[in-house]
Amino acid sequence: MKDIFKGLLRENPIFVLALGLCPSLAVSTTVNNALGMSAATFLVLMGSNIVISLLRKQIPDDIHIPAYIVVIATFVTLVDMTMQAYFPALSESLGIFIPLIVVNCIILGRAEAFASKNSVGASVIDAVAMGLGFAVGLTSIALVREVFGAGTITLYPDGGVLRIPGLADSPALVFAFPAGALIVVGFLQAFYRWLGEVTQK
């Protein structure tokens, strides 16, 4: 149980390990997109962690990076095609950031640092922990950006949009722009550090 929660705070992939930033920031404009991205990343992470852990004794050391990349790319393609078929709107708004999960450092990072050295069971738990931490991190960025930048919280696109009175009419648009995303991440990262220190005591 402790292992699952390590991803939330102490080893949060986004804020503490600073992994997987690139594809995540771009999609954090609405909560809905952030949840979709988290789910896609989680599925890929789970698949690649399991397969790489299973093959950890078979993959020769010299070519382990290309081998991992092929495994990851295969899962990304599967998730991409599934999303296009069942969630076309979400797939449309995430755009090229779905194929870009391949180079999301969090997945290769976990393959290299964890799945290649541990049993399948432990790798599954690691994937759950990291996936959860990633989802919480990404969603909190999206929540801040959407609330201030648009004055809404989009849980699902049609009818699931909460409007925040006052903010929805005159939002601080800068949060919706790339600049806002970088600033929000900076402050959330500092907040996490502070939180980590406080909870340790």
Partner 1 sequence: MTYLGIILTYVFVSNLVLSQFLGLCPFIGVSKNTESAVGMGFAVTFVMSLATLITWALQRFVLVPLNIVFLQTVTFILVIASLVQLVEMAVRKYSPPLYQALGIYLPLITTNCGVLGIALISVNADYGPMESFLAGLSAGIGFLLALLLMSGIRERLDTEKVPKHLKGAPIAFISGGLMALAFMAFDKALLSNIIGG
Give the interface segment with partner 1, choosing from 47-55, 129-137, 160-168, 189-197 (CB under 8 A).
189-197
The closest of 199, 189, 167 to 13, measured between CA atoms, is 189
User: Which residue number, 16 or 125, has a Cβ lying nearer to partner 1?
Assistant: 16
Chain-centroid distance, C-alpha 28: 10
Give the interface segment with partner 1, choosing from 93-101, 121-129, 131-139, 147-155 (CB under 8 A).
93-101
The Cα–Cα gap between 52 and 57 comes to 9
Q: Which of residues 3-42 bind partner 1 (CB under 8 A)?
A: 18-19, 21-23, 25-26
User: Which residue number, 125 or 136, has a Cβ lying nearer to partner 1?
Assistant: 136
Please report, in angstroms and rounded to a whole number, the separation of the first and last CA atoms in the chain.
Answer: 21
Give the interface segment with partner 1, choosing from 3-11, 75-83, 126-134, 150-158 (CB under 8 A).
75-83
Q: Which two tokens stand for residue 163?
A: 């409007």
Rounded to the nearest 10°, the torsion over CA 62, 122, 40, 181 is -90
Amino acid identity at 43 = L
CB of 90 to partner 1, least distance (A): 18
How many chain residues bind partner 1 (CB under 8 A)?
42
User: Which residue number, 18 or 113, has a Cβ lying nearer to partner 1?
Assistant: 18
The Cα–Cα gap between 71 and 50 comes to 10
CB-CB neighbours of 2 under 10 Å: 7
- The footprint of partner 1 (CB under 8 A) covers 18-19, 21-23, 25-26, 65-66, 69-70, 73-74, 76-77, 80-81, 96, 99-100, 102-105, 108, 174, 177-183, 185-187, 189-191, 193-194, 197
